[in-house]
Amino acid sequence: MKTPEDQEVPKVGVEILGRTFQVPAGITAVDALWLTGHALERGVGCLGGVCGACTMLYTTPGSPNFNVGLGCRTVITEGMSFFPFPQRGRSRYRYDLSEVKDPAGELLDHFDRADKCRHCHGCTNVCPQKIQVEEAIELAGKGEFEKAGEMFLPCVMCGACLAECPEEMEPNHILLYARRGFAARLAPPPQELERMAREIREGRFAAAMESLIALSDEDLRALCEEGRG
């Protein structure tokens, strides 16, 4: 028997992992998976479009193409068919950034397939964050780590480009390396941070810190309240 809620909420028909369901309109794919009893133990995390754990593949009526989206941000529509993106293993590449002296020059030492791009556009087409992954990989290959890293900023490390790449290049890990390498070795040092670190080393805040440590819990709490007000 239908409850009053069932009668009020419009429903849409969707296909999840090959089975059809009626679910409330306007909910996300992750909500639909949960509502229909699918266990999501690994394929979900932040629910805010940040962690990249909930990547899914979906089709819509009348379009032969597969789309890739974040399940927690993709609102389902009538006739949509979707399933969670297959889970991926860990990257096979390892490097210790503290030992990298010349990030661009050492790219191929750490990613031995970084120059194997066949320009198939697969990584760019599949990226749910609409990053021009192929172009960023090309820039990284030319040593332009700053530009490549900037393009990579919206990445949520969902791994779709990694799974898609026919050359097993692991584009997302190459671009993460470019970003890390740029920040660690190539970017100008942050002057304000350096100044503060120097002043801390020289003891500028030592007395203030001592007086804070000497405060009772009650006085410390009062001071915090004062600071908030």
Q: Are 50 and 22 in contact (CB under 8 A)?
A: no
* Interface with ligand SF4 (CB under 6 A), residue from 69, 103, 141, 159: 159
Q: Hey, is 159 helix, strand or coil?
A: coil
For 29-68, the DSSP string reads HHHHHHHTT---SSS-S-SSSSS-TTEEEEE-TT--S-EE
Token output for 123:
């990584």
**Of residues 33 and 127, the one with the C-beta less far from ligand SF4:** 127
> What gap in Å lies between CA 31 and CA 23, rounded to an integer?
9
Q: How far is the CB of 70 from ligand SF4 (least distance, A)?
A: 9
**Of residues 40 and 183, the one with the C-beta less far from ligand FES:** 40
Q: How far is the CB of 220 from ligand FES (least distance, A)?
A: 36
Query: Could you say whether residue 156 binds ligand SF4 (CB under 6 A)?
Result: yes
Query: Could you say whether residue 117 binds ligand SF4 (CB under 6 A)?
Result: yes
Binding site for ligand FES (CB under 6 A): 44-47, 49-54, 70-72, 156
**Of residues 81 and 132, the one with the C-beta less far from ligand SF4:** 132
Residue 169, contacted partner among ligand SF4, ligand FES, none, CB below 5-8 A by kind: ligand SF4
Residue 120, sorted as left (phi over 0), alpha (psi -120 to 50) or beta, turns out to be: alpha
> What gap in Å lies between CA 109 and CA 99, rounded to an integer?
12
Q: Where are the beta strands (DSSP E) in the chain?
A: 11-16, 19-24, 55-59, 67-70, 81-84
**Of residues 33 and 164, the one with the C-beta less far from ligand SF4:** 164
* Interface with ligand SF4 (CB under 6 A), residue from 145, 169, 179, 182: 169
Q: Are 182 and 145 in contact (CB under 8 A)?
A: yes
Residue 170, contacted partner among ligand SF4, ligand FES, none, CB below 5-8 A by kind: none
Query: Could you say whether residue 118 binds ligand SF4 (CB under 6 A)?
Result: yes
Which residues contribute to the site for ligand SF4 (CB under 6 A)? 52, 117-123, 126-129, 131, 133-134, 137, 155-161, 164-167, 169, 171-172
